[in-house]
Amino acid sequence: MRRRVVITGMGVCAPNGIGLTDFAEAMALGKSGIRFQPELKELGFGCQIAAKPELNDELLTQYFTPLQLRGLSATGIMYGVIAGTDAWKDAGLTIAEKEQPNWDSGIIFGSGTLGVDKFREAIYQIDDKNVRRLGSTSVIQTMASGVSAYLGGILGCGNQVTTNSSACTTGTEGVLMGYERIASGQAERMLVGSCSDSGPYVWAGFDAMRILPRNYNENPEEASRPMSASAAGFVPGSGAGALVLESLESAQARGAKIYAEILGGSVNSGGQRGDGTMTAPNSEAVQRCISQAVAHAGIQNNDIDTINGHLTATSKDGLEIANWSAALNRSGSDFPYINSFKGLFGHCLSAAGSIECVAALLQFKKSQLFGNVNCTDIHPEITEIISPDRIPQKTILHQPTILAKASFGFGDVNACVIFKRFND
């Protein structure tokens, strides 16, 4: 007997807002987190803009002890701990006592590459024949699971504590991994989320691939243009999002607030076969992933009234819309409302799926559909398939009933999760 799984807490450390209140307001009002980055200019990047959360020492001391902060330079861990701790508190959960962990609570917190700045410091020391000067945190800040390890210790979780990694699919995949663990009865609650480091050493490779916009260094807020005819590439971002997933029994027993229910979902890969490659999606795989998510959730295509796409603002956005349309067999004005949040905070890479899940779920709470930005000139490939009014240019009043969220990543990997407004 599979158990029902609900979302009882959320936290976010996003480029356009840290904490649910600021983030929800930024999303509703269309406040951008994309800014000019002098550091990228100095280093000769083509794309000199990016989206990163604005941290300060005062904020960090609320989440880390002075000892943890010594030599802490893994930005992904900072973002992940902020989002994860906030989600835990938002769910009304307490941290485990000193002597015993909470055996029923686990963590799946993903990362792409972690602790890049710490790794860089270490490399300088090592090349200088100064290995002995590395200190004790080089390993824990640069291991991929560093973020879940920090959170596991802070919260005292005694169930599975791990890190998943599947490029830009990471966050959405993590939601489904946590969901499975609870649905199958192996945990009562799972903190799921993902983070992505900031900085030139994370973003340079994308600049080298020439898939970032180069002509918006003077007007960063206009640079990220999902679904637009003038889309010029994705704006690199960073941050973290986190959700507390919980069995319905546990949530109701504690009287927890419930943001939404997870009905199910699907993850797959195009195998880099057909039209799929390391960096381009196999459309058949994308469509299968969406169709299988619908089937797994036990709903019909027509039940979906809201989609939050992956839609990065590259030339592939039209193809993504075509794949949604084919998978759901819906088009024109029958197509669900669809939005992309990347217009406001760029593509947060391994953090994208989790930050976007948080934003998507806030729409249930606020009875709003957050507006798209920078796409008044919708790409003709898209308007050929769906009506322009399916792509609201401003935040509108809208109560989602069933929302599909998908993320796609390098390696030809896909994830699609189905959220439903909670009804007992």
Partner 1 sequence: MNEEIKYNKLKAIIKVYLPDDVSVDAITLHSNFISELNINSANLVDIVLDVEDEFDIMLENDDMDKMQTVQDALTIIDAKLEAK
- The contact set with partner 1 (CB under 8 A) reads 65-67, 70, 98, 133, 135-137
Whole-number minimum distance, CB 154 to partner 1, in Å? 13
CA-closest candidate to residue 357, choices 410, 417, 314, 397: 417
Q: Give the Cα separation of 15 and 26 in Å (integer).
A: 10
Whole-number minimum distance, CB 130 to partner 1, in Å? 11
**CB of 56 or CB of 136, closer to partner 1:** 136
**CB of 69 or CB of 208, closer to partner 1:** 69
Q: Which residue has the tokens 């989440």?
A: 63
**CB of 63 or CB of 206, closer to partner 1:** 63
CA-closest candidate to residue 216, choices 103, 49, 65, 382: 49
Whole-number minimum distance, CB 70 to partner 1, in Å? 7
Whole-number minimum distance, CB 136 to partner 1, in Å? 4
**CB of 66 or CB of 380, closer to partner 1:** 66
Token pair recorded at residue 36: 């000019």
CA-closest candidate to residue 233, choices 222, 241, 249: 222
**CB of 134 or CB of 229, closer to partner 1:** 134
With helix as H, strand as E and coil as C, how does 188-228 read? CEEEEEEEECCCHHHHHHHHHCCCCCCCCCCCHHHCCCCCE
Q: Give the Cα separation of 10 and 245 in Å (integer).
A: 9
Alpha helices in 247-350 (DSSP H): 248-254, 283-297, 317-328, 342-345
Beta bridge partners of 107: 161, 191
Whole-number minimum distance, CB 423 to partner 1, in Å? 44
Whole-number minimum distance, CB 67 to partner 1, in Å? 6
**CB of 125 or CB of 252, closer to partner 1:** 125
